[in-house]
Structure 1
Amino acid sequence: MKNFTVTGVKPSAFLEEFADGLKQTFTERGYNFEENTDNEIRVVFNLIDPEKPRPFRRKAQATFVISILEVDSINDNTFEKAYPYLIRSLANHLIYILHKGDTTELYFISPEQGFYRMEYSNGQDFYNHVYNRLEPIASAQLVIDNDFMEDLGDALWEGNEITYKLRDSGKKLDEMDLLPAPFPLDKYLSQRDMRQLKKLYGIGGLSYGNLSSRHDHKDFWMSASGIDKSNMQKIGQDILYIKGYNPTKNTMEISIPPKVTPKRASVDAIEHWMIYREHPNVGAIVHVHAWMEDIEATEVNYPCGTLQLAEAVADLVKKAPDPSRAVIGLKNHGLTITGRDLDDIFDRIDGKIIRQVPMI
Structure 2
Amino acid sequence: MSAILSEATRIRDDICAVGASLFNRGLTAGSTGNISVRLSDGSTLMTPTNASLGELDPARLSRLSPDGAHLDGDRPTKEAFLHNCMYCERPNAGAVVHLHSTHAVAVSVLADIDPADVLPPLTAYYVMRVGTLPLVPYFAPGDEALAQAVKSVAGRHHAVLLANHGPVVAGTTLRDAQYAAEELEETARLHLMLDGRALRPLTPEQVADLRTR
Shorter-normalised TM range:
0.5 to 0.7
- Measured after TM superposition, the shift of residue 332 of structure 1 is 0.8
| Counterpart for residue 55 of structure 2 | 231
Residues of 2 paired with 1:170 and 1:277: CA distance? Answer: 23
1:216 counterpart = 2:63: no
Q: Secondary structure at the match of 1:280?
A: coil
Residues of 2 paired with 1:222 and 1:337: CA distance? Answer: 14
1:297 counterpart = 2:149: no
- Measured after TM superposition, the shift of residue 177 of structure 1 is 1.4
Q: Secondary structure at the match of 1:255?
A: strand
Closer, same or farther in 2 for the Cα pair 1:159/1:214, shift >3 Å? closer
1:182-261 matches, cutoff 5 A: 206-216=30-40, 218-235=42-59, 237=60, 239-244=61-66, 253-256=69-72
CA-atom RMSD in angstroms = 2.9
Residues of 1 paired with 2:86 and 2:5: CA distance? Answer: 24
Closer, same or farther in 2 for the Cα pair 1:244/1:351, shift >3 Å? closer
Q: What TM-score, normalized by structure 1, do the two folds share?
A: 0.40
1:1-360 matches, cutoff 5 A: 156=5, 159-179=8-28, 206-216=30-40, 218-235=42-59, 237=60, 239-244=61-66, 253-256=69-72, 262-290=73-101, 291=104, 294=119, 295-299=133-137, 301-320=138-157, 326-350=158-182, 352-353=184-185, 354=188
Residues of 1 paired with 2:183 and 2:96: CA distance? Answer: 18
- Measured after TM superposition, the shift of residue 346 of structure 1 is 2.4
Q: Which one-letter code corresponds to 1:339 in the other structure?
A: G
Conservation of the 8 A alpha-carbon contact between 1:217 and 1:280 = no
Unaligned stretches of 5+ in structure 2? 108-117, 120-132, 193-213
Q: Structure 1 vs Structure 2: percent identity of aligned residues?
A: 23
Conservation of the 8 A alpha-carbon contact between 1:224 and 1:264 = yes
- Measured after TM superposition, the shift of residue 313 of structure 1 is 1.1
Conservation of the 8 A alpha-carbon contact between 2:7 and 2:39 = no
- Measured after TM superposition, the shift of residue 319 of structure 1 is 2.5
Conservation of the 8 A alpha-carbon contact between 1:298 and 1:330 = yes
Q: What TM-score, normalized by structure 2, do the two folds share?
A: 0.64
Conservation of the 8 A alpha-carbon contact between 1:242 and 1:255 = yes
Question: What is the CA deviation profile of residues 195-222 of structure 1, one whole-angstrom value per residue up to 9, with x for unaligned ones?
Answer: xxxxxxxxxxx52200101113632110
Q: Which one-letter code corresponds to 2:86 in the other structure?
A: I
Closer, same or farther in 2 for the Cα pair 1:159/1:348, shift >3 Å? closer
Question: What is the CA deviation profile of residues 97-140 of structure 1, one whole-angstrom value per residue up to 9, with x for unaligned ones?
Answer: xxxxxxxxxxxxxxxxxxxxxxxxxxxxxxxxxxxxxxxxxxxx
Closer, same or farther in 2 for the Cα pair 1:254/1:282, shift >3 Å? same
Q: Which one-letter code corresponds to 2:84 in the other structure?
A: W
Higher CA-based Rg: 1
Closer, same or farther in 2 for the Cα pair 1:179/1:349, shift >3 Å? closer
| Counterpart for residue 132 of structure 1 | none
Q: Secondary structure at the match of 2:63?
A: strand
Question: What is the CA deviation profile of residues 132-174 of structure 1, one whole-angstrom value per residue up to 9, with x for unaligned ones?
Answer: xxxxxxxxxxxxxxxxxxxxx9x74994222221122111221
Conservation of the 8 A alpha-carbon contact between 1:219 and 1:242 = yes
Q: Which one-letter code corresponds to 2:49 in the other structure?
A: S
- Measured after TM superposition, the shift of residue 352 of structure 1 is 4.2
Conservation of the 8 A alpha-carbon contact between 2:167 and 2:181 = no
| Counterpart for residue 199 of structure 2 | none
Residues of 1 paired with 2:146 and 2:97: CA distance? Answer: 16
Conservation of the 8 A alpha-carbon contact between 1:317 and 1:328 = yes
| Bigger strand fraction | 1
More RCO (CA 8 Å, sep 6+): 2
Unaligned stretches of 5+ in structure 1? 1-152, 181-205, 246-251, 257-261, 321-325
